[in-house]
Structure 1
Amino acid sequence: MVTNAELAGRFEEFADLLEADEVEYKPRAYRRAAENVRAFPVPIADRVEAGDEDVLQEIDGVGDAIAGKIVEYVETGEIEELEALKEELPIDIADLTRIEGVGPKTAGKLYRELGIETLDDLEEAAEAGEIQEVKGFGPKTEENIRENLEFARQVGQRQLLGEGRPLADDVLAFLESLDAVERVEVAGSIRRWRETIGDVDVLAGTEAGEDVVEAFVDWESVDAEIESGPSKASVRVGEIRVDLRVVVPGEFGAALQYFTGSKDHNVRLRNYAIDREMKLNEYGAFDVSDVEDHESDQRVGERVAGETEAGMYEALGLPWIPPELREDRGEIDAAEAGELPDLLTREDVRGDLHTHTEWSDGNTSIEPMVDAAEALGYDYYAVADHAEGPGIVGGVGLSEDELLEQAERIREIDANREITVLAGVEANVDAEGEIGLSADVIDALDVIVASPHSALSQDAETATERLVRAVENPAVDVLGHPSGRLLNERSGLDFDVTRLARAAADSGTALEVNSDPRRLDLWGSAVQATLEEGATIAIDTDAHQPATLEFVRWGIHTARRGWAEPADVINCWDLEDLQAFLH
């Protein structure tokens, strides 16, 4: 099955290779097409395979040439022009550009100068001191490459949550359609909503395990069978591995708890059980108080739970612990004390404070974005297009005159809408922590998001000082994507979360959970540390088109991983309280 994410990946690869080949203009067109393909609300390949190529006309940024390439890829599994470009530039562009400071143009230059095609080639050249000899490079760049090689190798083995979870939803829908399946749920890291996953784990409860495994392997979306047996199977769907395990319905709850993890949570929970003369495993919860040797048999003792996951916790006198919390960060102690957080839900979110339009690098005008926000039932919505500044590629940042002009236009739109439309900006936090906005612009706007976009390789002390200076600026309402990381692409800033959160709490500045699945920045443990210091967060989408306002799903679950309740999230507040918080 060719997914939208896979199609988007091919066009991102196209854009990177064109940029590496120093082709102008075309890379931006392919990147825009990739973004819109990724966010398109229906599976494009399914429509094309059904003969409905008209669907391609509905995708912004997809003209006849790119539409033809989509059809070619769906029908043949490759794009001839892309394959020719890969022969001309035989570099592993995705791996090389995961190195901080190595973009497509740099990768192209290293290939032309040193013949570097892979991470191994890059490491060999760096260790030999050859990179610093290339014009435009130096010892510092070479050292940075050496330091980031391990990161690049590790992230290349994992998928983004935003790519794996939609596939997981499709797998669940398919298995639920089978009469023999009584219960089905995802497990593993994807159920805990980690930002990246190794594969998609699915658990099915059924009395006809072999039949369900056979149906799963024969599912039309499966591209390749990896392995299968009476109770489990692994397949490849697109570029993602999916692992299915079947269990009898009476043991479904125990297996779900066991295979959801995390490992650290399960170890702590099993030890908690042992202290109470109980035994937990994938088959159930067993009272072993009267059993001398309870290690010889997994099912030894009196089975007291296992059909439901909640029952596994209840057997220990604990409330059910939401999957997002199961990382051994105090959740079992909190459950025992009756102090688990009342986690926020989708219904708690009342607006979005960080979005973009075609005024900067978004893909549509203000009105369709407002329409989409209204359709989501929001009370308020903010346009926060880029201001000029370092790290804003392609000259898309707005001048101060343009920001003032846009603010006037937003006021006009707001006057004719039920939803409150706020005028904002995404200012740039420069290397020293300044945001570069005049008092006139600050006074004209409702909300100021300030985000780092450049100098992302600073040391932790410098980065922390920089971000603290930004949140202490009285004009800044929200510190956007604080690390500037791009998952599987760059690690971003390393900083002291506790110190930053303390400064944010003192200054009345919210730290953002950027919901773009490529960012998810802040992440779960950082959110938890932020809330422990008394600071607030904002869950924003950084949407560049109407469909990506739905990214809020990823931000909500990321915030839940950080123990966030509605009161902790400024865009869960009513408009009056939000406006009192803003600058």
Structure 2
Amino acid sequence: MSRNDEVSALFEEFADLLEAQDVSYKPNSYRRAAENIREDPRPIEDVAAEGADALEDIDGVGDAISAKILEYFETGEIEELEEARADLPVDMAGLTRVEGVGPKTVGKLYEALGVETLDDLEAAAEDGRIREVKGFGKKTEANILENIPFARQSRERSLLGEARPVADDLLAYLRGNDAVVEADVAGSIRRWRETVGDIDVLVASDEPNRVVAAFADWDGATGVIESGTKKAAVRANGERVDLRVVVPDEYGAALQYFTGSKEHNVTLRNRAIARGLKMNEYGVFDVFDVDDPDAGQRVGERVAGHTEEEMYAALDLAWIEPEMREDTGEVDAAAAGDLPDLVTTDEVRGDLHTHTDWSDGRATLEEMLAGAEERGYDYHAVTDHATGAGMVGGVGLSDEELEEQMSVVVEAAERVEIDVFHGVEANIDADGGLSVGDDLLDALDIVVASPHAALDQGREEATERLVAAVEHPAVDVLGHPTGRLLNRRKGMDLDYERLAEAAAEAGTALEVNANPHRLDLSGTGVRAAVDAGAVVVVNTDAHAPSEFDNVRYGVHTARRGWAESTDVLNTWSVEEVRAFVDG
């Protein structure tokens, strides 16, 4: 497993510390380098092994930054970063998780009040001391206090997009060991929840000691937390990874049990009890003639447990996809034979929300089209940002620039074998209006409308704002509807049923934004859309070709909402997509 994320995180922290101390230009340089290191397909440790010249081939990495990278791999630290930490000894990551608190705010509150941690921040807000600091006030203080609980909660969980690559690397490693019969993730990561606690890995083996030893020797592990005969835990890329080894004949039972959710499992156990059965992590047991079913975990005749399918079949149920196991009607659907045929990543035929370096993308139009073509897509949409509220740094295109881009897109489309849509990501203002002129909207192939500002509106106001957008005759897709950024801001509270009904009536698709920081719509929102007959679309919002890989996170989020391929616009043919956006 590469250390790109680890090195990127160091430079991001360095940038925040310097920004908090009003250092100019360096923070942006470090953030740019961090972003490009994270996106580079090569393991940064391998590039560093080739020397400074190889590192400086990475965009944004000059001689000063390359020297710091080499210093880190040689000594385990960056001296200048350690000095910055000493100058500003704060929990930067924790404090900046509070919405509205950026690095400069952290610097000011440390200087004025000695705030170093979330506890310090909360105490200062509760005591009314923040409002006394120059540039702050009662409203700012109240907002900070209100957002601290969310910051605490978010810190306890990692993004799916951060944890899943770690798990995938470990699974590939374990499955290559001849002592491992089967291996998979369990818990919330197997259900593809947008955030996860620990990474849980389950292995079937008759040689648990060998598996535990191999797990501890995994090169992705940065430290062993604990190690036993059948269980162990390591730290990897900042994540806690827990291993459990079971005998192969009980693997299916353990996988079902430890995948959860708790509510799903309770419903299954109650169903088992009603049939004279006992269901647990060791299997399903017939306890009808047993005097004391609670006398032990393996009491009674074992009737299932080798596979998950056996576990569900013992309860007269079809196997239920992990993403659906949230006790929202999936057990009844399985009993009735009405489980949906969930959409798969392989069925996605194109991306209808992407960006280029015309706005804030990191790749050219030609590079984005080539990336889509290399993935085997049938079509691709270019939807750069328009100007409007929420667009920081002037990244949005004016109507005149969008018109100029039209001819460029047409010319580029002639040089590729896939169909190309030219569109825009327009901004939805606080009243539901759009930031692009109606005549231009009508001339574009596809219009994605998204909220980027005024995300603190109440539920009713926010819902009506988005309903107005989906009812606009030119809007084809409502992008990342809540505007949330996972573990950073909550986004708008919406009436999903009302929004889904309006979208179904207007013929507007609701986006599942596959960026791991968004995953918006959530599974709950997708379920409302599916129930209302609205179309959803899984887009990556990619700013570089490498981000097309994020599509899997969007697809699994759609699966959490019970979406089939017929519900998902970009699994349709190009002719069907054109008919939808032209309709």
CA RMSD, 1 decimal: 1.8
Q: SS at the partner of 1:244?
A: strand
Q: Which moved more, 1:331-340 or 1:12-21?
A: 12-21
3-state SS of paired residue (1:271): helix
Corresponding residue number in structure 2 for 1:22: 22
Partner of 1:295: helix, strand, or coil? helix
- Report the secondary structure of 1:71's partner residue: helix
Aligned equivalents of 1:254 and 1:535: distance in 2?
37
Question: CA separation in 2, counterparts of 1:195 and 1:54?
Answer: 39
* Matching residue of 1:300: 299
Matches within 5 A, 1:360-371: 360-371=359-370
Q: Deviations over 1:408-429 (max 9, x none)?
A: 1001111222101111111111
SS in structure 1 of the partner of residue 397 of structure 2: coil
Q: Note closer, same or farther for the CA distance 1:134–1:4 as it changes in structure 2 (3 Å cut).
A: same
Give, in whole Å, the separation in 2 of the partners of 1:86 and 1:148.
Answer: 25
Question: How many angstroms does 1:282 deviate by?
Answer: 0.9
Q: Cα deviation per residue 1:509-537 (whole Å; 9 max; x = unaligned)? A: 11111111111111112211221122111
Structure 2 residue aligned with 1:209: 208
C-alpha contact (below 8 Å) 1:435/1:450 kept by paired residues: yes
Summarize the Cα distance change of 1:528–1:93 in structure 2 as closer, same or farther, 3 Å threshold: same
Aligned counterparts of 1:409 and 1:505: Cα–Cα separation in 2: 34
SS of the residue 2:203 aligns to: strand
Report the equivalent of 1:117. Answer: 116
TM-score, normalization: structure 2? 0.96
Letter in 1 for 2:111: R
Counting only pairs closer than 5 Å after superposition, residues 283-362 of structure 1 correspond to structure 2 as 283-362=282-361
Alignment correspondent of 2:449: 450
SS at match of 1:143: helix
Structure 1 counterpart SS, 2:340: coil
Work out the CA distance in 1 between the residues paired with 2:25 and 2:395. Answer: 14
Residue 235 to residue 319, structure 1, CA distance change in 2 (3 Å): same
Written as runs of structure 1 = structure 2, the 5 A alignment for 1:157-236 is: 157-236=156-235
For the pair 1:36 / 2:36, whether they are aligned, the reply is yes
The equivalent of 2:268 in structure 1 is 269
Give the equivalent residue in structure 1 for 2:392.
Answer: 393
Cα-to-partner distance string for 1:283-311 (whole Å, 9 max, x where unaligned): 11111122121111111111111111111
Query: Quick one: distance in 1 between partners of 2:431 and 2:87?
Result: 41
Deviates more, 1:50-59 or 1:105-114: 50-59
Query: How far did 1:44 drift?
Result: 2.2
Is the 1:433–1:467 contact (alpha carbons within 8 Å) kept by the matching residues of 2? Answer: yes
In the superposition, relative to structure 1, how do residues 423 and 9 fare at CA in structure 2: closer, same or farther (>3 Å)?
same
The AA in structure 2 aligned to 1:397 is G
Indicate if the aligned counterparts of 1:279 and 1:286 stay in contact, CA closer than 8 A.
Answer: yes
Deviation at 1:229, TM superposition (A): 1.0
Aligned partners of 2:14 and 2:27 also within 8 Å = yes
- Find out whether 1:428 has 2:440 as its counterpart: no
Deviation string 1:323-355 (CA, Å, 9 cap, x unpaired) is 111111111011111111100111110110111
> Which residue of the partner structure matches residue 574 of structure 2?
575
What's the counterpart of residue 155 of structure 2? 156
Please report how far the alpha carbon of residue 17 of structure 1 lies from its aligned counterpart in structure 2 after TM superposition. 2.5
- What does residue 383 of structure 1 align with? 382
CA shift at 1:52, angstroms?
6.7
**Residues 405 and 26 from structure 1, CA distance in 2 versus in 1: closer, same or farther, beyond 3 angstroms?**
farther
1:436-515 to structure 2, matched below 5 A, reads: 436-515=435-514
Structure 2 CA distance, aligned partners of 1:120 and 1:157? 15
3-state SS of paired residue (1:235)? strand
Q: In structure 1, how many angstroms separate the alpha carbons of the residues matched to 2:192 and 2:467?
A: 29
Q: Which amino acid aligns with 1:545?
A: A
Distance 2:381 2:370 in 1: 12
Q: Report the AA paired with residue 291 of structure 1.
A: V
Work out whether residues 249 and 307 of structure 1, in 8 Å CA contact, stay in contact via their aligned partners in 2: yes
**Residues of 1 paired with 2:567 and 2:455: CA distance?**
28
CA distance in 2, matches of 1:23, 1:211: 52
Contact 1:97 1:104 in 2 (8 A): yes
Distance 1:561 1:225, change over 3 A: same
Deviation of 1:31 after TM superposition, in Å, equals: 2.7
Q: Is the 8 A contact 1:2 1:74 kept in 2?
A: no
Q: What secondary structure, in the 3-state scheme, does the structure 1 residue paired with 2:295 have?
A: coil
Matched, 1:527 2:529: no
Give 1:80's aligned residue: 79
The question of whether the paired residues in 1 share the 8 Å contact of 2:48 and 2:55 is answered with no
After TM superposition, give the deviation of residue 275 of structure 1 in Å: 1.0
User: Aligned pairs, how many?
Assistant: 582
Distance 1:301 1:49 in 2: 59
Matched residue of 1:487: which SS? coil
TM-score normalised over the length of structure 1: 0.96
Query: Counterpart amino acid of 2:541?
Result: D
Q: CA deviation at 1:104?
A: 2.4
* Counterpart code for 1:202: V
Shift, 1:54, TM fit: 6.1
Which residues in structure 2 correspond to 1:233-244 (within 5 Å)?
A: 233-244=232-243
Paired AA for residue 69 in structure 1: K
Q: What is the letter of the counterpart of residue 19 of structure 2?
A: E
* Contact 1:471–1:509 (Cα < 8 Å) also in 2: yes
Q: Partner amino acid for 1:7?
A: V
Q: What amino acid is the match of 1:12?
A: E
Question: Aligned letter for 2:440?
Answer: V
Q: How much does 1:233 deviate?
A: 0.4
Give me the whole-angstrom Cα distance separating, in 2, the residues matched to 1:550 and 1:563.
22
1:51 shift after superposition: 4.2
Return the alpha-carbon distance in structure 2 between the equivalents of residues 162 and 378 of structure 1.
23
Compared CA separation, residues 255 and 109, structure 1 to 2 (3 A):
same
What is aligned with 1:131?
Answer: 130
The 8 Å contact of residues 384 and 425 in structure 1, kept in 2 or not, is answered as yes
Tell me the secondary structure at the aligned position of residue 29 of structure 1.
Answer: helix
> What is aligned with 2:7?
7
- Superposition map of 1:42-61 within 5 A: 42-45=42-45, 47-48=46-47, 51=50, 56-57=55-56, 59-61=58-60
Report the Cα distance in structure 2 between the residues aligned to 1:528 and 1:74, rounded to whole angstroms.
Answer: 47
- Cα displacement (A) at 1:246: 0.4
Is the 2:373–2:416 Cα contact (8 Å) retained in structure 1? no
| TM-fit CA distance, 1:66 | 2.8
Map of 1:257 onto structure 2: 256
Give the Å deviation of 1:53: 6.3
- The residue type equivalent to 1:23 in the other structure is V
Shift of 1:92: 1.9
The answer (yes or no) to whether the contact 2:276–2:286 under 8 Å persists in 1 is yes
Alpha-carbon contact 1:434-1:470 (below 8 Å) kept: yes
Indicate conservation of the 8 Å contact 1:207/1:248, yes or no. yes
Identity %: 62
CA contact (8 A) 2:287 2:300 kept: yes
Alpha-carbon separation, structure 2, partners of 1:62 and 1:321? 48
How far off is 1:438 after superposition?
0.8
- Decide whether the 8 Å contact of 2:170 with 2:220 is kept in 1: no
**Pair 509,29 (structure 1): closer, same or farther in 2 beyond 3 Å:** farther
Structure 1 residues not aligned, in runs of 5+: none
- 1:58, distance to aligned residue in structure 2 (A): 5.2
Summarize the Cα distance change of 1:422–1:365 in structure 2 as closer, same or farther, 3 Å threshold. Answer: same
| Structure 2 contact 166–237 (Cα < 8 Å) conserved | no
- Between 439-448 and 342-351, report the one with greater CA deviation: 439-448
Task: Answer whether contact 1:44 1:55 (CA < 8 A) is retained.
Answer: no
